[in-house]
Amino acid sequence: MVEPFTEEYLKIMEYKKIPVEAMKQLPMPMNLIKIAPESYDLLDSDLKKDGFGNRQHFEV
């Protein structure tokens, strides 16, 4: 969870073009959940055309 009205929270609000004043008027602040993936899986059949496996896995 991103703590409401921290620097990170405000940057996200600015990026999404959500007025901070409108958020402050809500009865409860909007929750933001930060997700940090540990791995990615890609399935793309077009990769076989280039000589790669169609399933790719990446660990962060």
Domain boundaries, the chain: 7-59
CA 7/CA 3 separation, integer angstroms: 9
Q: How confident is the model at residue 14 (pLDDT cuts 50, 70, 90)?
A: very high
Q: Report yes or no on whether pTM surpasses 0.85.
A: no
Q: How confident is the model at residue 37 (pLDDT cuts 50, 70, 90)?
A: very high
Helix (H) or strand (E) segment spanning residue 15: helix 7-15
What would the mean pLDDT of 7-30 be, rounded to a whole number? 93
Q: Find the angle CA(34)-CA(40)-CA(45) to the nearest 5 degrees.
A: 135
